[in-house]
Amino acid sequence: MKMLSLSIALEHWLVDLPSSISLDTHMPINALPHILMIHLSHAWLIILLYRPFYRPFAGLSTSDLSGEKETSQSGHVAWAVKVCYRTITY
């Protein structure tokens, strides 16, 4: 489960950023370029990590994406879609 440990490590890294470079304290429109690049790099790494499982049009219904029905494969796909969408809508 290296993917899970990488995902957890990336999330902890983002949460543990100093407040001076966190987007929680800066509005993205006012953030300096280096702050934006740090957060863009995080989003890019998350997308790369989940990209093999990201298939938003793989025949999943809306209930599959909301987590009501979850088979093993559709659960992984739904999770990857949620994580990628959350990353790009930060």
Domain count, the chain: 1
Task: Look at residue 20 and tell me if it is in a domain.
Answer: no
What per-residue confidence (pLDDT) applies to 72? 56
Supply the pTM of this predicted model. 0.65
**pLDDT computed for residue 38 by the predictor:** 92
Residue 88 corresponds to which amino acid? I
Contact 52, 6 (CB under 8 A): no
Residue 27 lies in a domain: no
pLDDT for 70 equals 47
Asked if residue 21 belongs to a domain, the reply is no
Q: Is residue 28 part of a domain?
A: no
pLDDT at 71: 53
Residue range(s) defining the domain that contains residue 41: 2-15+33-88
Residue 43 maps to a domain: yes
Q: Is residue 82 part of a domain?
A: yes
The pLDDT tens digits of the residues spanning 9-62 come to 988 999 899 988 888 766 777 788 898 899 889 989 988 888 877 665 555 554
In a domain, 24, yes or no: no
Nearest 5°: the CA angle 83, 88, 90 is: 95
